[in-house]
Amino acid sequence: MNEELVILINTLRVRTPMYIGYLSILRFSSFLQGYFWAIYCRDKNFEMQTSMGYFTDWLAVKYSIRESLGWDGILLKLAKDDDELALQLFWRHWDEFIELSKNVSPESHTLTYKNMVSYE
């Protein structure tokens, strides 16, 4: 997991409305997309998709989501389109994901299915 991204997300968590206006998964997601775009503009080798892609894959496996949704869409679906609740779900799932990610070797750069479902 990208350490800079983890630091950014932890910073946003403390005073989320200060950065995005109000508690909203859609605003939070848009903020992160802007962050990824700014990094990409500075470094063309930066892969925007992988930054949150593993988190998206983990959520999809955890909840057996077969639709083509991003992490924000999955959380919105789980929250029955409640934007603020979806952000609360993000924090809960993000903590779990980061904890599981600590058990993944840096050489693999991916979460295997076994790692992703180790919470069961």
| pLDDT tens over the chain, length 120 residues | 678 888 999 999 999 999 999 999 999 999 999 988 888 888 887 776 676 888 999 999 999 999 999 999 999 999 999 999 999 999 999 999 999 888 775 555 455 444 555 444
CA torsion through residues 67, 73, 75, 79, sign: negative
pLDDT attached to residue 109: 47
pLDDT attached to residue 105: 58
Which one-letter amino acid corresponds to residue 26?
L
pLDDT attached to residue 39: 87
What ranges in the chain are assigned the alpha helix state H? Answer: 3-14, 16-20, 25-42, 48-62, 71-78, 83-101, 113-116
Q: What's the pTM value of the predicted model, to 2 decimals?
A: 0.81
The full set of domain ranges for the chain reads: 3-116
pLDDT attached to residue 2: 77
pLDDT attached to residue 1: 65
Alpha-carbon distance of 45 to 81, in angstroms, equals: 34
pLDDT attached to residue 23: 97
Phi then psi for residue 19, to 5 deg, are -95, -35
pLDDT attached to residue 119: 44
